[in-house]
Amino acid sequence: MTSLDTLSSDELYEAPPTFMGIPFRTDATGAGAAILGCPFDCGTHKFRIGARQGPAAIRAQSGLLRRYQSEIADCDALTELGVIDAGDVLLVPSRAQEAFPLIEEAAYRIAVTGAVPVGFGGDGSVSLPLVRAAAKVHPGLAVLHIDSHTDAYPIDPVHQYDAASQFTHAALEQRILTSASWHVGLRGSTVRPGVYDHTRELGYNIMSMTELQNRGLQDAVKELRQTLAQRPVYLSWDMDVFDPSCAPGVCTPVWGGLSSREGIDLLRMLEGLNIVGADVNTVSPPHDINGMTAFLAAAVTYEILLLIWRRQADART
């Protein structure tokens, strides 16, 4: 039996749970990408609050993923990319005026090193501070927002920040080039009329789930790629774009969404885009079933990291 006093620190202490067991480090220097947990939700939904627990759930379920993908990445792509897990931003959920500057600063410190911040929501509102950080480093930023909702509602003058208006703020603040930005997968009912019209008035392009399905993924993605080619792209993936049958644990479920297979196919078709920032949001563990939504979110994150890895690998050759 080993004497306790001879144990090294590595033998005595266990690292905090990280995404797929990648190294925990807050300094992103030399990393290709960094996971950043944003355990924030606005807390304004009447009965479906819980996305603040999303980062922990995604990390926990990521233990079901393996490092090698024989079909498209038969190597340890995460190690080659140098992905780190920077932990969670220290914040208080529902206090947007305090939390958003903290998220923005944490993401900016990652982005300024050249690494790609990949945020874990939290509800969709966390996209705003993450986009603000990316825009500081990447002029001419375009957004590809995959969601069942536009999240570009008119701003409530009393409660300015919520999970329905983050991309309105981003447009009005001129953080992004809206004419090159897309909201894809839109469907379902809305709480007010004119939501799509308002999104278009801000300059955004939209593609409903009906159009996406009628055109087929390949034809639809061809147009996205033409618009986004050669631009820095911020990819925001809201888990409620999936049908509730495969992603029940989200803040605002909407029937008629993507299957898990369709979502992964869509992601893989984005290969070659210059993704400089990303988030995976709206996992709500209290409403999940056996962690299936968090597990799917982990798989989405892995696919996003593979996109970043392939782009950076191609740039080196």
Question: Which residue segments constitute the domains of the chain, with CATH numbers given?
Answer: 20-316 (3.40.800.10)
Question: For 181-218, how does the pLDDT look when each residue is reduced to its tens digit (9 = 90+)?
Answer: 999 999 999 988 999 999 999 999 999 999 999 999 99
- Write down the pLDDT at residue 2: 58
Is residue 1's pLDDT more than 70? no
pTM: 0.94
3-class state of residue 7 by DSSP: coil
Question: For 245-262, how does the pLDDT look when each residue is reduced to its tens digit (9 = 90+)?
Answer: 999 999 999 999 999 999
CA distances from 98 to 65, 104, 124, 170, 212 (A): 34, 11, 17, 18, 38
Termini Cα distance of the chain: 50
| CA separation for the pair 192, 179 (Å, rounded) | 24
- Provide the pLDDT confidence category of residue 9 given band limits of 50, 70 and 90: low
